[in-house]
Amino acid sequence: AALPSLLAWLAVLLLGRARPADACSCSPIHPQQAFCNADVVIRAKAVSAKEVDSGNDIYGNPIKRIQYEIKQIKMFKGPDQDIEFIYTAPSTAVCGRLLDTGGKKEYLIAGKSEGNGKMHITLCDLVSTWDSLTPTQKKSLNQRYQMGCECKISRCLSIPCFVSSSDECLWTDWAMEKNNVDGRQAKHYACIKRSDGSCAWYRGMAPPKQEFLDIEDP
């Protein structure tokens, strides 16, 4: 009688330990924040993928990762050398980011550097197909986002909301467009530091001058 009870207890214990890995949640983030937080931001294609071992966990079990071999098209932020491989967890349940391979689909990919031409991405990093980006977002990757990395973008959860400091921009897409993280401000605006040290939203195709004063508020 003791054996079935012991087996049942072990099953409950194992199921309980597995649950934290069953889901991955990410906080909404403006594309500029994703750019500023990343070590590496590139435009690239994934040409192949394979599962590889990446050391062992604390129990001695092998840690699996997906290794993507990529073709870098352009680097917007990162080291001097090209990125050759991108690593991620093997499934979305553990925050892995899956890419189409074959070299046909181009991506904008932001993530953490692992050195030696390698980077790591998760489900919470900025990974978008290049064709899905707006012209403003593409232009902002070259200079505009970087100009605002000292600014703070705060997500407005409900109207009204207010800035708490002069170096802050309110991201209102979440409140104004029914929890949309890909709204007007995400697509067409960057939060940029002005010459007086304050920060404000900027909209325009041309890169702004450091001392710009004409702001079009969302």
Whether residue 207 has a cis bond before it, omega within 30° of 0: no
Determine contact, residues 42/76, Cβ cutoff 8 Å.
yes
Q: How many residues does the chain have?
A: 218
| Amino acid occupying residue 69 | E
Residue tagged 């325009």 (tokens)? 204
Query: Could you write out the three-class secondary structure of 8-57?
Result: HHHHHHHHHHHHHHHCCCCCCCCHHHHHHHCCEEEEEEEEEEEEEEEEEC
Angle at CA of residue 216, ends 211 and 217, nearest 5°: 115
169 is in an annotated binding site: no
How would DSSP label each residue in 68-107?
EEEEEEEEEES-SSPP-EEEE-SSGGGT-----BSS-SEE
Q: Give 154-162's long-range contacts (Cβ < 8 A, gap of 24+).
A: 155/28, 155/30
> Which residues participate in the annotated binding site?
24
> Which residues participate in the annotated binding site for Zn(2+)?
24
